[in-house]
Structure 1
Amino acid sequence: MNPSSNRIARMWHTVLPRRGSVARPSDRVQGGLLAFVVVLALAVLPFAASFGSETYVRQQLQSAEQLRTRTQVVATLLADGPALKANTRSGVAGSGEPTDATWTLADGTRKTGKIVADQGAVKGDRLPAWVDENGNPSQPPLTGAAVVIEAVMSALGLWLGAAGLLALAYCLTAYTLDRFRLARWQQEWFREQNRKTHS
């Protein structure tokens, strides 16, 4: 039997001690607390799933609204983009910067403004850009994949946060019980030493 299996078996016997067990009351308290923490962490799962589902519905509505009001256009740079610079640590080029550009809307209206141009882009380059219903630059709309990822991460984050707090509470309690057991052991040891000295 491997060490992890032995540990699990010891925890189980601490929670439900067999006849003749040498488990101390504090051991049973700690084992019972561990079982309670595990059950409570599992009980949080449905709430986390519900939170993720609500987040999905909310983000889906937001995505639909953004897709309805935002349009992708082709913008022409009126100036050079940021100079191409490699990250000295990774060797990868950094992010782009807002750069003057012009674009034409579906009704023929010509607009100018700033769009994010990648490093190394030059004047005259044509780049895709997203604009709102007024033709002004905007962020890309939420995609279906982004909505799913956001919902999953929200649910997972909530559960991990709750599980982390429960684990912290258990560890603090276990630390307190260990200090209590150590103090009791020291008292018993001193008592035994005094008994031997005076006998």
Structure 2
Amino acid sequence: MLRFLSRELHSWRLMHASSNRLVRPTDRVESLVLVALLVSALAGVLVALTIGGNTYAAHKAVAEVQGPRHSVSATVIATPRQDDDPTVVAWRRPDGARLTAEVDTERHDRVGRVRIIWLDDEQHVADPPVTHTDAVVEGVMAGLGVVMLTAMGWWGLVLLVRAAADRHRMRRWEAEWRELDIDSHR
């Protein structure tokens, strides 16, 4: 771990930007590419913040315009015969009338199971209400997803640049060692 850290810290030295003739051109190009990757990673963080904020705003707007909903306990009266068939549930209204509806199938559905379903004001089955907490969680998750993608892309590109630069340096060193070896046998 310390070897990796010292190698990364070495790559950010300012000597690569100096006019020192001992610094190889490959090192200069490598440093320039790594700085460009760092700047692009910072831009990726700004994109992540923007996407997270937009996702939060969209979910918050949905939460504000959705109609009132309430939950009821419904009993499963028919399970699906095929995978894409809905489950049929029944419940009683406050006045005692029995209502039935088709809802999305859950994995543990069986006849007699009690499920919680959401109804709108017209007693139609509706999606669960979107809360402010849901909007915050969705915004944070969207932002973190973009940050993770940016970090993995940055890390992969840094490794690729480092590997290419190391390969080039190794070829140069091998050539120089061969030249030194040939000259020493004369």
Do these two structures clear the TM 0.5 threshold for a shared fold by scoring above it? yes
Pair 107,65 (structure 1): closer, same or farther in 2 beyond 3 Å:
farther
Report the 3-state secondary structure (helix = DSSP H, G, I; strand = E; otherwise coil) of the residue aligned with 1:173: helix
Report the 3-state secondary structure (helix = DSSP H, G, I; strand = E; otherwise coil) of the residue aligned with 1:190: helix
Q: CA separation in 1, counterparts of 2:49 and 2:110? A: 44
Q: CA separation in 2, counterparts of 1:78 and 1:120? A: 10
Report the 3-state secondary structure (helix = DSSP H, G, I; strand = E; otherwise coil) of the residue aligned with 1:75: strand
In structure 1, runs of 5+ residues without a counterpart are 81-97
Question: What letter corresponds to residue 59 of structure 1 in structure 2?
Answer: H
Partner of 2:33: 33
Question: What letter corresponds to residue 35 of structure 1 in structure 2?
Answer: V
Residue 101 (1) aligns with residue 89 (2): yes
- Asked whether the equivalents of residues 100 and 114 of structure 1 are also in contact (C-alpha less than 8 Å), the reply is yes
Partner of 1:137: 125
Q: Shift in Å at residue 149 of structure 1?
A: 0.9
Partner of 1:74: 73
State the Cα deviation string for residues 26-81 of structure 1 (Å, max 9, x = none). 12222232233223212332332122111111011112333x1533223234369x
Partner of 1:93: none
Identity %: 28
Partner of 1:158: 146
Q: CA separation in 1, counterparts of 2:107 and 2:36? A: 53
Residue 180 (1) aligns with residue 180 (2): no
Q: CA separation in 2, counterparts of 1:79 and 1:57? A: 39
Question: What letter corresponds to residue 78 of structure 1 in structure 2?
Answer: I
- Asked whether the equivalents of residues 77 and 99 of structure 1 are also in contact (C-alpha less than 8 Å), the reply is yes
Q: Shift in Å at residue 112 of structure 1?
A: 0.6
Pair 22,106 (structure 1): closer, same or farther in 2 beyond 3 Å:
farther
How many residue pairs get matched?
179
Q: CA separation in 1, counterparts of 2:62 and 2:43? A: 30
Q: CA separation in 2, counterparts of 1:5 and 1:183? A: 24
Partner of 1:58: 58
Question: What letter corresponds to residue 71 of structure 1 in structure 2?
Answer: H
Q: Shift in Å at residue 106 of structure 1?
A: 6.6
Question: What letter corresponds to residue 49 of structure 2 in structure 1?
Answer: A
Q: Shift in Å at residue 131 of structure 1?
A: 2.5
Pair 126,3 (structure 1): closer, same or farther in 2 beyond 3 Å:
closer
State the Cα deviation string for residues 139-184 of structure 1 (Å, max 9, x = none). 3122222211110111121222233223322222222222211222
Q: CA separation in 1, counterparts of 2:9 and 2:116? A: 61
Report the 3-state secondary structure (helix = DSSP H, G, I; strand = E; otherwise coil) of the residue aligned with 1:140: coil
In structure 2, runs of 5+ residues without a counterpart are 80-85
- Asked whether the equivalents of residues 37 and 167 of structure 1 are also in contact (C-alpha less than 8 Å), the reply is no
Q: CA separation in 1, counterparts of 2:169 and 2:8? A: 21
Report the 3-state secondary structure (helix = DSSP H, G, I; strand = E; otherwise coil) of the residue aligned with 1:112: strand
Q: Shift in Å at residue 8 of structure 1?
A: 4.9
Computed over aligned residues only, the root mean square deviation of the Cα atoms, in angstroms, reads 3.4
Pair 118,48 (structure 1): closer, same or farther in 2 beyond 3 Å:
closer
Partner of 2:15: 16
Pair 4,138 (structure 1): closer, same or farther in 2 beyond 3 Å:
same
